């Protein structure tokens, strides 16, 4: 009964703490402005199934995609066994689903092969990050914490899979010894080879089996509550993020309704713009972005695929699309903490632009959408960059000289070039 009470207490504490943190994350996302992403539900559902569940965009890099698929599928499917662990922990039973017979044997055997796959996949990912040191895992934004975060998760998954296999090995050996509580059930195609590494005494085997059992479930509880502090939150957010992703053609920018109304009023004197609260042109801080932009920031996996294909970054410019998303998330977290301490309306003198993202970064962007295309879960850094640019131009009248010259030429000549419209076809005239 003591172990059952302890298990129930840990379960309730893990759920409560996770709910508390998720509530804060949702509050932070709601700092953003409204955005209508309820159209085309069938297309959105198919996008989510294809991109988030099917991971189709991952396979532009087939080797890491295959390894990621094994790790993802293995970790998710193996954790189906958590349901059995929950029931065993609450009621003090042992392998309560053992009555399924052959089906149960197939499941446990499959779980063991998947666990081995997860173990190998995580080991290879650790080697790629820390020994081979792939370029896309580095950058000014990849400070000690983002690098450590990835390593912590990979090491934790290796430890959890090791505990799972050792638990099964000790369990199988206890079953063979005929120990009362360990009824004959399950098939252990891989863990059986670990039995020779274990002691033969009943007490030692029970200690190993129980120790691994507790380590496995406590590790899962800890992993669950680590997610809101980690880039691995994408495990949960990838699904809503892809569902609410932009379905419009790449490169099609949205018009600001307030500006559209002004233009309509200029062209049609009878047009009366609807009354609306005065808003800001573009975005200065995270509360000027939409909730979709902010959810994108929480969903970022920090994989660096966006930055690795960014032409500005490749040519040595300061811009890194991954940094844009990480900076947005960091600023959002800071604003959320300010709200927790002092309530809404507190001004800390900082903003997303300048305090986190520099002018040089936003104007280095070529608006090519390579980052959005490369992202495996449809995150859109360009949308944030565009809003920051709008603020700089429309609110502050600050933009690079080349941009000002282009805008002036469009206004005066109807084209970006400094030529009179009457001379536009002079290039075609023969000498």
Q: What is the DSSP letter of 426?
A: G
Phi, psi of 357 (to 5 degrees): -110, 125
What is residue 185's predicted lDDT score, i.e. its pLDDT? 83
Rounded Cα distance, 17 and 222, in Å: 10
What is residue 184's predicted lDDT score, i.e. its pLDDT? 83
Rounded Cα distance, 212 and 170, in Å: 9
H-helix segments, 201-320: 202-226, 234-243, 257-267, 291-299, 305-309, 311-314
Residue 33 pairs in a beta bridge with: 290
Q: How far apart, in Å, are the Cα atoms of 431 and each of 424, 426, 428?
A: 16, 10, 10
What tens digit of pLDDT does each residue of 26-44 get? 999 999 999 999 999 999 9
What is residue 149's predicted lDDT score, i.e. its pLDDT? 94
Q: What is the DSSP letter of 245?
A: S
Distance of CA 228 to the CA centre of its chain: 10
Closest Cα partner for 390 from 313, 279, 294?
279
Closest Cα partner for 113 from 169, 176, 167, 161?
161
What is residue 431's predicted lDDT score, i.e. its pLDDT? 60
State the Rg of the chain over Cα.
28
**Sites in the chain below the pLDDT cut of 50:** none
What tens digit of pLDDT does each residue of 260-269 get? 888 888 888 8
**Do 258 and 363 form a contact (C-beta atoms < 8 A)?**
no
**Do 141 and 313 form a contact (C-beta atoms < 8 A)?**
no
Rounded Cα distance, 307 and 363, in Å: 15
**Do 240 and 295 form a contact (C-beta atoms < 8 A)?**
yes
What is residue 276's predicted lDDT score, i.e. its pLDDT? 63
What is residue 80's predicted lDDT score, i.e. its pLDDT? 77
């Amino acid at each position: 009964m003591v172990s059952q009470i302890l298990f129930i207490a840990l379960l309730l504490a893990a759920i409560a703490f996770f709910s508390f943190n998720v509530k804060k994350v949702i509050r932070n996302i709601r700092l953003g402005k409204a955005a209508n992403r309820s159209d085309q539900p069938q297309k959105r559902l198919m996008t989510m199934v294809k991109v988030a569940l099917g991971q189709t965009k991952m396979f532009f890099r087939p080797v890491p995609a295959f390894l990621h698929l094994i790790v993802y599928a293995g970790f998710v499917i193996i954790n189906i066994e958590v349901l059995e662990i929950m029931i065993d922990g609450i009621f003090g039973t042992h392998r309560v689903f053992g009555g399924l017979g052959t089906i149960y044997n197939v499941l446990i055997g499959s779980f063991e092969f998947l666990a081995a796959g997860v173990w190998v996949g995580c080991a290879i990912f650790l080697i790629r990050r820390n020994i081979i040191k792939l370029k896309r895992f580095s950058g000014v934004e990849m400070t000690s914490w983002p690098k450590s975060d990835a390593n912590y998760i990979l090491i934790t998954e290796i430890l959890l899979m090791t505990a799972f296999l050792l638990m099964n090995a000790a369990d199988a050996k206890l079953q063979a010894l005929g120990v009362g509580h360990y009824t004959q059930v399950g098939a252990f195609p891989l863990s059986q080879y670990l039995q020779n590494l274990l002691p033969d005494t009943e007490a030692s085997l029970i200690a190993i089996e129980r120790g691994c059992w507790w380590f496995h479930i406590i590790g899962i509880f800890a992993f669950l509550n680590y997610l809101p502090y980690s880039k691995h939150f994408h495990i949960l957010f990838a699904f809503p993020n892809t569902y609410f992703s932009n379905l419009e053609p790449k490169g099609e920018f949205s018009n600001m309704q307030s500006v559209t109304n002004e233009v309509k009023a200029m062209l049609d004197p009878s047009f009366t713009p609807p009354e609306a609260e005065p808003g800001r042109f573009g975005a200065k801080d995270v509360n000027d972005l939409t909730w979709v932009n902010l959810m994108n920031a929480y969903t970022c996996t920090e994989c660096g695929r966006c930055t690795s294909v960014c032409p500005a970054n490749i040519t040595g410019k300061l811009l890194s699309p991954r940094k844009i998303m990480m900076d947005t998330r960091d600023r959002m977290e800071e604003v959320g903490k300010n709200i927790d301490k002092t309530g809404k309306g507190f001004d800390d003198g900082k903003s997303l632009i300048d305090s986190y993202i520099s002018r040089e970064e936003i104007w280095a962007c070529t608006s090519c959408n390579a980052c959005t295309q490369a992202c495996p879960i449809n995150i859109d850094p360009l949308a944030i960059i565009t809003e920051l640019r709008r603020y700089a131009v429309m609110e502050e009248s600050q933009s690079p000289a080349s941009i000002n010259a282009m805008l002036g030429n469009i206004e005066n000549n109807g084209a970006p070039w400094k030529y009179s419209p009457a001379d536009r076809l002079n290039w075609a005239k023969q000498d």
